[in-house]
Amino acid sequence: MMTPTQVTVSAAEWEIMRVVWANEAVTSRKVIDTLEDKMEWKESTIKTLIGRLVEKDALQTVKEGRKYIYIALISEEDTVKSYSEDILARVCNKDNGKVVRNLMEDATLSQKDIEELIELLQEKAVTAPEEVACDCAVGQCDCHLV
Amino acid sequence: MMTPTQVTVSAAEWEIMRVVWANEAVTSRKVIDTLEDKMEWKESTIKTLIGRLVEKDALQTVKEGRKYIYIALISEEDTVKSYSEDILARVCNKDNGKVVRNLMEDATLSQKDIEELIELLQEKAVTAPEEVACDCAVGQCDCHLV
DNA sequence: AAATGACGTTTACGAACGTAAACTATTAAT
DNA sequence: ATTAATAGTTTACGTTCGTAAACGTCATTT
């Protein structure tokens, strides 16, 4: 799915998106039933969040009778990806490895996941530099202080 | 460094923290000189951000004459980690692998990083399950729809 | 002594967010 | 036909964030 200008989804909105992503297309009733208890949100809170997601073009609406069916306009993958990119942008390139390690430590991975990740690492190894160059502004990382 | 109740640092505040982390201890002048141009922030913007970080116990102040020296009370590692954990909490356990993969694809890794990551993966493989169990609320992920 | 500058504090103000009540229009039930 | 339940829209309100001006104090320069 092409996400033109990646929309930013807040933490609360993300919960809504998960329901939409999981179901391809949902009614607001579905979202409310799914989240009302789990999140301890009032029905109107959920309505507000859905409204905001439509407003920011994360959800598309299709009229179904007099109700709406909501469909995701951004993919989970892209959304997760832009979140990841954000993390990497916040640290020195040299520390990218550490960030990946941290995430990996906390992640629950299957044998197959591990296998695939090792493969990807091996691919990256083909072109990986001996040492990563720092790209930070002077003074903003200890690679080159003033 | 022990971070008791992990403080939340916003994107703009994070820039300030990077300067502090890079320098161990800094004066506000140092932060201002480092970021004013790079971020195109006015001096007072930076002062505000520093003030907020002190307020939320991300920075500690040590009086030096009539000025202050600012010292980080939260480590970069912990801060990055809690940010990473946040992402994993937003997807189904089954997709953890995909999240790691996305991050890894974007990350700049050195040969050594790659080596270490492969090692970590091999360690994880020892106890990794054949298949990761979904932990999502019903309806919130496609592993178990209603 | 008066003016200027550096540094921390206070105040400001709009946008985004979390949370939700109230209102409107429409359909379903009595 | 009235009433009650739905679904979407509008309004609300306190907090956090991004961005910054203004202010009060010392300290330094003229």
How many angstroms separate the CA of A111 from the C1' of C17? 39
Q: B59 has which bridge partners?
A: B72
What confidence score (pLDDT) does residue A3 get?
A: 45
Q: How would you label B62-81 residue by residue, b for 16+ Cβ within 10 Å and e otherwise?
A: eeeeeebbbebbbebbebbb
Tell me what the mean pLDDT of segment B129-146 comes to: 85
Of B105, B116, B142, the CB nearest to A22: B142
Average pLDDT over residues B47-61: 98
Q: What is the mean pLDDT of residues B49-62?
A: 98
Which nucleotide shows the minimum CA-to-C1' distance to residue A61?
A: D8
Q: Nucleotides of chain D within 7 Å of a protein C-beta?
A: 6-12, 16-22, 26-27
CB B45 within 8 A of CB B89: no
Q: Would you place residue B3 in the very low, low, confident or very high pLDDT band (cuts 50, 70, 90)? A: very low
How many Å lie between the alpha carbon of B138 and the closest alpha carbon of chain A? 7
Instruction: Note down pLDDT in tens along chain A; length 146 residues.
Output: 544 567 999 999 999 999 999 998 899 999 999 999 999 999 999 999 999 999 999 999 999 877 999 999 999 999 999 999 999 999 999 999 999 999 999 999 999 999 999 999 999 999 999 999 998 988 888 887 65
pTM for this one?
Answer: 0.91
Q: Least CB-CB distance to A131: which of B11, B110, B145?
A: B110
* The two structure tokens encoding residue B138: 């019903």
Beta strands in B4-137, from DSSP E residues, in sequence order:
25-26, 59-64, 67-72
Mean pLDDT across chain B: 93
Nearest protein residue, CA measured to C1' of D16: B10
CA distances from B37 to A94, A111, B30 (A): 23, 48, 12
Would the pLDDT of B79 be above 90? yes
Q: Taking CA B130 as the corner, what is the angle to CA B127 and CA B133, rounded to the nearest 5 degrees?
A: 95
What residue of A is the nearest CA neighbor of B136?
Answer: A18
**pLDDT in the model for residue B126:** 98
Is residue B5's pLDDT more than 70? no
pLDDT at position A4, please?
52
* Residue B33 with chain A: CB contacts under 8 Å: 139
Instruction: List the Cα angle B89/B92/B93 in 5-degree steps.
Output: 85
Handedness of CA A128, A106, B18, A7 (dihedral sign): positive
Which residues have CB under 7 A from strand C?
A 8, 10-13, 39-42, 44-45, 47-49, 52, 56, 65-66; B 27-29, 32, 44, 47-48, 51, 54, 67-68
Separation in Å, CA of B129 to nearest CA in chain A: 5
A139, B22: Cβ pair inside 8 Å?
yes
